Every structure is written in structure tokens, then in C-alpha cells.
Amino acid sequence: MVFEKEISLLNKVFPQQVSQVKRVLAGFPLWVTQTAEIVVLSFNKTQHLKLALINPKKELEYSQLTALQRLVATKLKMPALIVGDKVNPKFRSLFVRNNVPYIFKEESIYAPEIGIVLNSQRSAPLTYKRPIPSVEQILGPFELKLIAGYLTDHLQLENFNLQELSRRLENLDYHCSMGKLSGSILKLIHMGFLEIRGQGPNRIVNFLPKQNVWLTLSQCHLKKLHTLVAGEEYLKGMDTIWGGESALSIHTNLVNPKIETYAITNKQFFEIKRNGDAVGNFGQPTIYYDIRKEDPWLFSINDALNPIELYFDFQHSPDERVQIALSELLNPFGLEVIKNV
């Protein structure tokens, strides 16, 4: 039987017993079906509960495994567990630390989403542990900024470390602490955007292929990236770039909006409010300020906000013109709009 040991362990947990094992192929990108075998398990007398098992066909990097698990869980809308037979044993502790569900033979299950954390030792019977609460991983503005730089060819780095990335950003006149950079890189590794090689001072990282990164990014939850404010003041001589629909019209064939939008930092916004001159029709907004959580000019193109960041600003816009423009926005980078199911 396929996954005989894993099913045997699940049958010890669920008195309803596994009733059906169904292989799944349809709806997944080619790289997924080439990388892993996916099955869906159904249970007797439990119509609402289904589990997906992901069996890697070869040994994968940690970041590849986590990206695969998130994609399958999102696509099938059910808990998805990595089968640990061909997984580096060192990854199991990382799975637990980062709430990545897995199952290993008849020995252990880590699936906090459904309230199961089981550990079996050869000398002891199967025991339950209190589940660790699942913490949703959310991508922050700086992590998105780094991904946007990679997807739009601003960050063309291979086998790089923190120092190299820091130097590249400093060459672009962007300065941040090593603590901020290190935390963001670690998060990108855990969320499946980067793969890691080596240890300690010899550790290097690489972005996964762009299509993999884009697919993972399209399934992510994002922290708030910006705030849009209507105003009347403008500070002459301030170094700004286009944001909002103004930026979208720069990158695509969308008609220029009647009211211009400037992408600025919070510091710039307060300077405008303090020293700016009112322009246009008083009492009516004549300018929109797109106040970004991260400096908008980093990785900007043609004095307009980076297309990847801009895409997520308008991803859920009901305006059909905007949705058409979003497809056009991604085309130069070989990317396509991915509709979440």
C-alpha cells in the first residue's frame, strides 16, 4: 500500500480510519509533479476532514520543502504534511520550530493545525504532546522589497552572504542594520524564497528560480505596505517618484489619472505638511500621497514604484482597467497574474 507506515500511524490517531487514498496531479505546476508525489487521504465517518501527504521524489533543500508544503496546502485547501522518509533528519527540528507539518513513518506526526503533535520512541509507546500554536507567517515590507528587487533584476546575486547583500544595497544608497538584514534573510529562508548552503561563516544563500519565488509570493499574506492620503500641498524640489495609478500609467498603457500620486516616505510626508505650498482647487484633493513603509525609490523603475510592489497595491482592485494593466505590468519580467483558488 502507498504510504503504508504513515497511514498505519494515522489510523492509530483517528479511530475513523483512513478510507481512501487518492493521487493528485491536476492543477499543479510541472515542477511540483516532477518533485513530489501528492495524495489526499479521506477518513471514514469524517466527511469534513481530509489530509494531503507530500512525498518528495528526491532529497530537497529546506526552503524547497516549505515552499512545496505551503503551495499544496493552499491549492488543496486542506492540511498538508511532508512525508519525512527522504528528508534530511536535521530538518525535522526546523519543521517543528517553524510550524511546518510533517509525518515520519510510524514514529511521529507534527500537525498543530489539526491539534496533533505525536512522538514515538522505540522504547516507549506512542505519546501525545500539547500542540504548539500555529503562527501565520506574514511577509513584511522589507522582505517584499528584496523579493521585488530580485524579480525585476535589480538584485542579480548568486551564492551571496549578508555582507555582499549589504554592500549591494549601500551601493544603491540604501543603508540598514545587519540585524534587520539578517532577520529578513532568515524569514525569506523559512518562507521558501531562499535556499541555504553551508554553515556558520561559510553559509551562503540563493534565491530560488523566479517562477518558484513568484508562485510562493502569490500565496503569501502581506503586512500593510503603505497608506494613501489625499492632500493639497506639494513641496517643490523634493525628490519623489510616482506611486499608485500614476506609477501604473508609467509602466503600462493605463491612461494617466487626473490626480497624480507621489510615493514618499513618512518623513517626507511630515515635511510636506510642515513646509509645503497648497496647490490647485482648495478644499478638494489635488494630490495623493502614497506613504510607503519602505523607501519607495529603492528598486524603482523610470521614476515609478517597483512593479512588484505596485502589483500588490492593486491586486484586489475591482477596476477592470487596473486588472488588465496588472497583466501588462508583469509581462516584461516573465511573470503572470496568479489567481488564488
pTM above 0.85, yes or no: no
Same domain, 60 and 108: yes
In a domain, 116, yes or no: yes
Same domain, 255 and 168: no
Q: Of 222, 255, 282, which residue sits at a domain end?
A: 222
In a domain, 341, yes or no: no
| Residues contacting residue 336 through CB under 8 Å, at least 6 positions apart | 327, 330
Paired strand residues for 102: 82, 110
Which of 244, 322, 236, 225 shows the shortest CA–CA distance to 288? 244
CB-CB contact of 215 with 191 (8 Å)? no
Written as tens digits, the pLDDT of the chain (341 aa) is 567 888 787 777 665 567 777 787 777 888 888 888 898 888 765 555 688 899 998 888 888 888 888 888 888 888 889 998 888 888 888 888 777 889 988 788 888 766 677 765 443 333 433 333 333 468 999 999 999 999 999 998 888 888 899 999 999 999 999 889 988 988 888 888 988 877 666 678 899 999 889 988 987 889 999 999 887 777 777 889 999 999 999 999 999 999 899 999 999 988 888 887 666 555 566 789 999 999 999 999 999 999 999 999 999 888 999 999 999 999 999 998 876 54
Q: Of 94, 128, 162, which residue sits at a domain end?
A: 128
pLDDT confidence of residue 143 = 96
Tally the domains of the chain: 3
Strands (E), 18-146: 18-23, 36-43, 46-56, 80-83, 102-104, 108-111, 116-119, 127-128, 138-139
Q: Are strands 46-56 and 80-83 parallel, antiparallel or unpaired?
A: parallel
Same domain, 8 and 116: yes
Same domain, 8 and 111: yes
Same domain, 18 and 114: yes
Same domain, 261 and 203: no
CATH number (domain holding residue 206)? 1.10.10.10
In a domain, 157, yes or no: yes
Q: What is the pLDDT of residues 8-19, one digit of tens each?
A: 877 776 655 677
Query: Residue 194 sits in which domain range?
Result: 139-222
In a domain, 191, yes or no: yes
In a domain, 134, yes or no: no
In a domain, 41, yes or no: yes
Same domain, 217 and 232: no
Same domain, 171 and 249: no
Same domain, 175 and 249: no
Q: Of 69, 104, 128, which residue sits at a domain end?
A: 128
Same domain, 234 and 328: yes
Same domain, 101 and 20: yes
Same domain, 13 and 105: yes
